[in-house]
Amino acid sequence: MTTVTVRERLVEAASAITTDRGWSAVTMGKVATRAGVSRQTVYNELGSKPALGQAMVLRELERFLAVVVTELDGNPDIVEAIRAAARRILEMARDNPLLRSILTAAHAVDGTGDGSSELLPFLTTDADPLIAAASAVIAEHVSGHGDLTVIGAELDAAIDAIVRLVLSHVMQPGGDPDRTAGDIAWIAARVLRR
């Protein structure tokens, strides 16, 4: 049995509120009440509402990266592993209520969001922690693939580009996840196997 930390409970509570009513409805008091702790505990664990938002995004990233690791470790062909991982990520993103909440809030102009785009930078302009974490996990798991023809700085650049490409499609889906994953795999093949 795994023990859920206070921090995890707080992030889960904030995610639930954001999914149900939007980020603008999240207050430290509501998070505290939902998690069954004091408001001061929320501040002690997370510091601020923006830090709470970043923690939510990074928690979702961990879920997505677990899928990527499974695909990378389970397929000896790096390009096929990337295709499978990209497809699963795009499918998860399409069905992820928190991600949908963040994206629809950012598009409140059409009346579908809550007018809050405070979380969007964690996926766009301030996405460096997300990109760095994803790139590090992927680099660790692709190093065992013998079919790579790039190493060192070139491999780091290729991984960074692939992560950014997938993130771009998560943020603005361009069509069928299977087709998009195939396109990403085609690009990966040309970058990783020169």
Checking if the pLDDT of 84 tops 50, the result is: yes
What pTM value is reported for the model? 0.82
Query: Quick one: fold of 49-192?
Result: Tetracycline Repressor; domain 2 (1.10.357)
Mean pLDDT, range 94-102, rounded to an integer: 87
The pLDDT of residue 108 is 55
pLDDT of 191 > 60? The answer is yes
69/91 Cα distance (integer angstroms): 16
* pLDDT given for residue 113 in this prediction: 47
Query: What value does the mean pLDDT of the chain take?
Result: 87
- In the predicted model, is pLDDT for residue 66 greater than 80? yes
Q: DSSP string covering the chain, please? A: -PPPPHHHHHHHHHHHHHHHH-GGG--HHHHHHHHTS-HHHHHHHH-SHHHHHHHHHHHHHHHHHHHHHHHHHH-SSHHHHHHHHHHHHHHHHHH-HHHHHHHHHHTGGGTSS-S--SSGGGGTTT-HHHHHHHHHHHHHHHTT-TT----HHHHHHHHHHHHHHHHHHHHS--S-HHHHHHHHHHHHHHHH--
* Res 112 pLDDT > 80: no
**Where along the chain do its domains lie?**
49-192
pLDDT digits (tens, 9 = 90+) for 17-32: 999 988 889 999 999 9
